[in-house]
Amino acid sequence: MSCRNTPLRVSALTLALALPALATASPDDAKTLDGVIVTATRTPTTVDAALAAVEVIDRTQIERSSAHSLPELLRGRAGITIVNQGGLGKLSTLFLRGTESDHTLFLIDGIRVGSPTSGLTSLQDIPLAQIERIEIVRGPRSSLYGADAIGGVIQIFTRQGAGQHGLQGRARVGAGSHGLREASAGIGLRGAHGGVSVDLAHQSTDGINACLGFYNPSNYSGAGCFIVPGTHLDRDGYRNNSASLRADFSPGDAWTFDAQAFRAIGHNDYDGDYVDNSDIVQQVVGGSVRWAPSSGIQFKLGMGRNTDDSDNSLGNIFANRYSTTRDSANLQGDFTVSPGQVLTAGLDWLRDRANVIDPWLPPYAPTRGNRAGFIQYQGDFGAQDWQVSVRRDNNDQFGGHTTGSIAWGMDIGAGWRVTASHGTAFKAPSFNELYYPGFSNPLLRPEDSRSSELSLARSGDDWQVQANAYQTRINDLIAYDALAGKPNNVETARIRGVELTGSAQLGQWHVRGQLGWLETRNLSAGFNHGKHLARRPSRSVRLDLDRDIGNWGVGISGIGESARWDDVGNTARVGGYGTVDARVSWRFSPAWTLQANVANAFDRRHETSAWYAQPGREYALSLRWQPE
């Protein structure tokens, strides 16, 4: 057994032994730990009632963790693979249940976000200091949200004031390895008819030297960190300044108005001979109005805009600019036709725009619109629940697409619950895949998928455990072909996986465990038939242990992933790894908490993307002020 694989195997063994013990606990004194979520069905429902695999990360978990970024927080969670190119602030992509990095739909406060050019969401530029909670829904959701939701939906909710009336504040400062500097502050005011909250945050780091490769014309693959030898062997810094605003107003029982705005501006340095630094802007602005004329009827009208800008340079010389906007609007009605029977219908509108300027290439500025209608039925029949939805999208470029899903759940006694579902989804090619001069393919077809899932769960007093087995088949999967130098459609790809998750309060210890197995196959005819899809590890594990001892808190997180291939042809192998993070906090007064963290405590050298090193051992210290 190699030293590198030991943490992964030990963590997996610990989790595998712990979860069956949880499943045999007595449910006689059961009480729900599940909060209300809205992402899985576009209507409020509890985690235990959702007919989908869901996970909620609340503010308490964020503050307890040793994470300093959204990619770090999501790393190792069930079904999620994070690929990072060099640490804090560097490009981070997310693969959910083995689907592509642009197959997960991201929402911020209900507003669709992401770059129409790359098809990705800049996870690394959304500060944790601005996040109140995260809802993760695994499995296809195109029948409710349209394109991009092949792997699932992740919704981020920005910070907001507490529920009680009055004025409240919060603040945090921190410092750590590699010149890490963090500061944030917020204030919230709530009255009888509404509230408002404002948060500001700063984060910067001197970074690390992440590049592990050099340019060689004889073996250059077109991917990875390859530069001219002797250049750019330096630390690559990152800076992010952000602000968010949320407000809501309810003049009476029937009407509710809310508005939100989030903006992050930053600067990023990295290694390259064409571009080596960027100025970025991430912005989300939106609002909604709700009208509930009776307890069984509610209408909601919402709209928003996401701006994703990147000005790229080599030193002080302008290289190119990517400026994109994503405008969206939706109208939704929820009707309780009888107790336990809810009908939802709605209309969605989306418009993507891009403006790409590059002195070395012809500029392009595409626009694409999408209009859709959907309907969903949710039925509660005692021990059984049903959810059926269908959606029709009309895309300006690719025409009409119909997607649907059906899900069933049943309580089978003694705290056990079984669910089954099947759904279809689709994804239109991004603007870069279609139009980027010299590296695009205008003949690309939209991707479409079919997914099936079977789940078994049991919950009891302060504990729960769940097993999910799923299969997804994707037709016309879009992947970069290094030999052709452009993206192409893979005829068929098959993804199979199993997830085992659990959480429990064992005395003073809170335990959360997640274990995943994944098999991906390229089933298209030709040279790559039978190959694994790139950047997906076949095994992953995460184990979080936290304990409160009076005013003290201690915790440890173990995260491991097996080896994966970094290319379509399975020629570049990235080794597996296991890391351990530790943390300790001291609440020395009701409002003040001091926290110390160490990440990658055993200083394991590892990569998640070929040619990009991950940070070694890192320390951090923070002071938080949060009045009760």
Rounded Cα distance between 623 and 173, Å, is 5
- What is the DSSP-derived secondary structure letter of residue 461? B
Residues 624, 139: Cα–Cα separation, whole Å: 36
Beta bridge partners of 285: 261, 305
Place 555 in a pLDDT band, splitting at 50, 70 and 90.
Answer: very high
What are the φ and ψ backbone dihedral angles of 435, each rounded to 5 degrees? -125, -15
Cβ–Cβ < 8 Å for 522, 549? no
> Is pLDDT above 60 for 21?
no
Q: What distance in Å separates the CA atoms of residue 567 and residue 479, rounded to the nearest whole number?
A: 10
Distance of alpha carbon 536 from alpha carbon 27, whole angstroms:
37
| Residue-level pLDDT at 192 | 87
Say whether pLDDT at 23 is over 60. no
Task: With CA atoms as reference, report the closest residue to 433 among 421, 415, 445, 419.
Answer: 445
d(Cα 372, Cα 175) in Å, to the nearest integer? 47
E strand or H helix at 400: strand 399-413
What was the pLDDT predicted at 410?
Answer: 97
Instruction: Note the pLDDT tens digit of each residue in 349-374.
Output: 999 999 999 888 888 899 999 999 99
CA atoms within 13 A on the CB side of 107: 27
Token pair for residue 586?
């001291």
What average pLDDT is seen over the chain?
89
CA gap 83, 607 in Å, rounded: 9
What pLDDT was estimated at residue 568? Answer: 83
Contacts of 550 (CB under 8 A, 6+ apart): none
Q: What share of the chain is helix, strand, coil (3-state, %, to 5)?
A: 10, 55, 35
Is residue 172 within 8 A of residue 625, CB to CB? The reply is yes
User: Above 60 in pLDDT, residue 30?
Assistant: no
What DSSP designation does 242 have?
A: E
Tens digit of pLDDT for each residue in 286-296?
999 999 999 99
CATH code of the region 6-625: 2.40.170.20
**Quick one: 138 exposed, middle or buried, by C-beta within 10 A (0-12, 13-18, 19+)?**
buried
Question: Which of 52, 71, 73, 77 has its CA nearest to residue 137?
Answer: 52
Q: Are strands 297-314 and 317-338 parallel, antiparallel or unpaired?
A: antiparallel
CA-based nearest residue to 535, from 549, 520, 554, 548: 520
State how far the Cα of 435 lies from the Cα of 608, in Å rounded to an integer.
29
Helix (H, G, I), strand (E, B) or coil at 70: helix
pLDDT at 28 over 50: no
How many whole angstroms separate alpha carbon 20 and alpha carbon 465?
Answer: 9
- Number of Cβ atoms within 10 Å of the Cβ of 254: 12
Residue 362 is classified by DSSP as -
Pairing assessment for the beta strands 226-227 and 213-214 based on DSSP bridges: parallel
One-letter amino acid of 626: Q
DSSP characters over 497-515: EEEEEEEEEETTEEEEEEE
> Rounded to whole angstroms, how far apart are CA atoms 535 and 618?
25
User: pTM for this one?
Assistant: 0.92
CB contact at 8 A, 33 and 464? yes
Residue from 53, 36, 1, 82 nearest 467 by CA: 53
Domain ranges of the chain: 6-625
Task: Of 228-242, 251-265, 514-528, give the lowest mean pLDDT range.
Answer: 228-242
Count how many residues are written for the chain.
628
Q: Which residues pair with 427 in a beta bridge?
A: 447
Q: What is the CA radius of gyration of the chain?
A: 24
Tokens standing for residue 130: 């601005």
Query: Which tokens in the block code for residue 70?
Result: 């959204």
d(CA 556, CA 545): 5
Is 416 in contact with 457 (CB distance < 8 Å)? yes
pLDDT tens-digit readout, 136-190: 999 999 999 999 999 999 999 999 876 677 899 999 999 999 999 999 999 999 9
3-state secondary structure 126-188: CCHHHEEEEEEEECCCHHHHCCCCCCEEEEEEECCCCCCCEEEEEEEEEEEHHHEEEEEEEEE
Q: Which pLDDT score, from 0 to 100, does residue 229 have?
A: 58
pLDDT tens string 210-256: 887 655 554 444 445 655 655 566 889 999 999 999 999 999 889 99
CA distance 532 to 496: 12
At residue 474, the pLDDT reads 95
Name residue 452's beta-bridge partners. 422, 471
Residue 471's pLDDT band (boundaries 50, 70, 90)? very high
Residue with tokens 């060689």: 216
Please give the backbone phi and psi of residue 59, each rounded to the nearest 5 degrees, phi first: -65, -35
pLDDT tens-digit readout, 37-59: 999 999 999 888 899 999 999 99
- 185, amino acid identity: A
Query: Strand 152-158 to strand 104-108: parallel, antiparallel, or no bridges (unpaired)?
Result: parallel
